[in-house]
Structure 1
Amino acid sequence: MPVIAVLALDGVPGHELTGPGMCFGTAARYHPHVAYELRYCAAPGFRGTGSPAPFRIDTPWGLEGLEDADTVLLPGHAGFRAEPPPELADALRAAADRGARIGAIGTGTFTLAATGLLDGRRAATGRPHAAELARRHPRIDVDPEGSVVDADPFHTAAGVLGGLDLCLHLITLDHGDPVAIETERQVFLQLHAPAGAEEDTGPVTSPTATRHRAGPHSLGPTIRWMEAHLDHPLTLKDIADHAGLTVRGLNRRFRAETGLSPLQYLLRARVQAAQRLLERGDEPVERITTRTGLGTPANLRHHFQHHTGTSPRIYRTAFRSLVATLTWADGKDADPAPPDGPSGAADRRAANRPA
């Protein structure tokens, strides 16, 4: 199981400690093949988190927790402008030397930059601090927008929602876009299927999440084919032919592997695709209906309401409002930018990930 070591530095914003746990934990909860061990490691001088709601944590791990970690995450913290303690810098260099992946969230990039590991590479931090990072470390090519920067094995980002952007990037590298997309949705909207719900009721979760662990005769190739052809009028016979099964055999195998019938699975996949399109674009419902194979706008609205409890229009508005509100709040830094650096609500709004 991959080990992710999250460094707790004094004055770290609390959500930058809890964010990775929420993100990686959600990925594992909704996808049986995903597993992570999250390890919180107290850095030298750690006393507690920063404002607005400081708290203390107890952890058995110090810097020794980095020694066998596959990934080291470095959140922002109040004293990010100070030189890191020598033992912390040495631990980060040692992790890099043995091939560990290192991620820096927001102003955590300053601490990673102070080790010299980012020299000659591209990196990102929160937009209010990008100009300062470039001044302090001229050998680093700073992304002024705070976008996720992959300079393998170093990964840096603005730290939206406590590092959600960076964590989702790492999940994408580990498990692909579908897992990361569904993880993002579940973190934002918590569309948890209620325990004991009927097969075709309750909020939409990832079709992969309902799937049992694949056996030697997994329907995985057929499921991926279905998900790639949602805009086609797929029938039970089409699906059975692709799987090389009779219709009766297909139904039996689908229920064994997913807990759903083939057509129930197909419907959920189509509604989930509609969610993604509503979240990330401005296409009208009519166009989304065509792309997802749901037939007519009325049919889309009916199934969307049944599976999510809301209409497509309200879903799109609520999702964007939630993302904008939370990313605005995340832009508030525990240690304000110096007067000559970018700051303010306009910069925070510009840092929001596009819907």
Structure 2
Amino acid sequence: MIHTISDVDTVALAVTDGMLHFELSLAYEVFAAAPADVTVPWYDVTVCGPVAVRVGRFRLEPDHGLDELSRADTVIVPGWADVDVDPPADLVEAVRAAHEAGARIASLCTGAFVLAAAGLLDGRRATTHWAHTRDLAARYPRVEVDPDVLYVDNGSVLTSAGKAAAMDLCLHLVRLDHGSSIANTVARRLVVPPHRDGGQAQFVTAPVPAPDNHPLAELLPWVIERLDQPLTVEDLARQARMSSRNLGRHFRSVTGTTPLQWLLTQRIRHAQELLETTDDSIDTIAAATGMGTATTLRRHFNRTVGVPPDTYRRTFRSRTRPGPHDSRQRPTV
């Protein structure tokens, strides 16, 4: 389904107690004010909700009640703060009614829980903040939750990942309605990239389990110190003094994955740290992480993180550069 914009497209921001103010403010900033050099008809933005709501620490008086959502062309549902409880029934019903009336519905961050409660995500692919993707999938099993993307466009129903990904989705909506040139103009005004590569997997930290009284407590730190070496499952089993089969069972129990997948995750995480904090070439990082070659590193990194190593480095380059006596500092190749 392709959304077609009229002379003035009405955008309704659906609010109620417990909404996150960041996502609400972000959406209002994108849709409420056209850039100075844009001459096409812009959006007519309205805020819809109960008489007065608490958004974060702020008190907000909406322009209209929730029933006004059904008259909008596009409805934006900002992030929902308490995902452990069901969203208000009146909000859920108003969002469902707006969709039935033909509105395009977009959720930002955990606003996806509202859409899921309304049944709008049943049988559809959707996303939300990576910290809540498992909760969304568990509570709404008919939703195909994708934890790795910045946003999902199903035509009449769209969902975004957390926080900054809400901006990605809002700019995507502007791009659909007005084209890339105007979306780029809006992005320049907001001093944000008009389009980001990859998905939210690049923002997810994969920490090593804390030392504890489990069978792998001594093995895991030993492996971390030797990521540059070509370790095998047999090497890990030998160091842990157990069979490969027994090692696999313990890895499943402690880390939730296989020895090789866990090892690959640690190699990728180490590569991320080196890309952020050093000038090492991709070849050097490949060797330091046990990947062997730059080609192998690029293949696994792109598949796991969602962007190539060079793109990741440009995005997450640390402001604190290695000092002149840091032996890891080398010209980038």
Q: TM-score range by the shorter chain?
A: 0.5 to 0.7
What are the Cα deviations for residues 243-294 of structure 1, in whole angstroms up to 9, with x where unaligned? xxxxxxxxxxxxxxxxxxxxxxxxxxxxxxxx98xx979xxxxxxxxxxxxx
Which residue of 109, 112, 118 maps to 1:109?
112
CA distance in 2, matches of 1:154, 1:42: 20
> Corresponding residue for 2:138?
135
Deviation at 1:159, TM superposition (A): 3.7
In the alignment, structure 1 segments of 5+ residues that lack a partner are 190-274, 282-326, 329-339, 341-345
> Corresponding residue for 1:24?
31
CA contact (8 A) 1:147 1:157 kept: yes
Deviation at 1:64, TM superposition (A): 2.2
1:87 aligns to 2:67 (yes or no): no
Q: Whose radius of gyration is greater, 1 or 2?
A: 2
1:178 aligns to 2:181 (yes or no): yes
Deviation at 1:97, TM superposition (A): 1.1
Q: How many residues align?
A: 204
SS at match of 1:48: strand
Partner letter of residue 182 of structure 1? T
CA distance in 2, matches of 1:123, 1:186: 29
Deviation at 1:88, TM superposition (A): 2.1
1:6 aligns to 2:13 (yes or no): yes
Partner letter of residue 70 of structure 2? E
CA distance in 2, matches of 1:80, 1:30: 40
Partner letter of residue 182 of structure 2? V
CA distance in 2, matches of 1:64, 1:144: 32
SS at match of 1:30: coil
> Corresponding residue for 2:53?
47
Aligned CA distance change for structure 1 residues 351 and 11 (closer, same or farther; 3 Å) = farther
CA contact (8 A) 2:49 2:66 kept: yes
TM-score (norm. length: structure 1): 0.51
What are the Cα deviations for residues 71-91 of structure 1, in whole angstroms up to 9, with x where unaligned? 111011223332233322221
Higher relative contact order (CA 8 A, sep 6+): 1
SS at match of 1:35: coil
TM-score (norm. length: structure 2): 0.54
CA distance in 2, matches of 1:6, 1:162: 17
Aligned CA distance change for structure 1 residues 280 and 147 (closer, same or farther; 3 Å) = closer
CA distance in 1, matches of 2:15, 2:158: 18
Deviation at 1:28, TM superposition (A): 4.6
Root-mean-square deviation over aligned CA pairs: 3.4
Deviation at 1:138, TM superposition (A): 1.5
Deviation at 1:107, TM superposition (A): 0.4
Aligned CA distance change for structure 1 residues 351 and 12 (closer, same or farther; 3 Å) = farther
Partner letter of residue 18 of structure 2? G
Deviation at 1:33, TM superposition (A): 0.4
> Corresponding residue for 1:199?
none
Deviation at 1:161, TM superposition (A): 3.0
What are the Cα deviations for residues 208-245 of structure 1, in whole angstroms up to 9, with x where unaligned? xxxxxxxxxxxxxxxxxxxxxxxxxxxxxxxxxxxxxx
SS at match of 2:28: helix
CA distance in 2, matches of 1:144, 1:162: 12
CA contact (8 A) 2:130 2:147 kept: yes
CA contact (8 A) 1:8 1:40 kept: yes
What are the Cα deviations for residues 95-137 of structure 1, in whole angstroms up to 9, with x where unaligned? 1112100000000001110111110000110111112211111
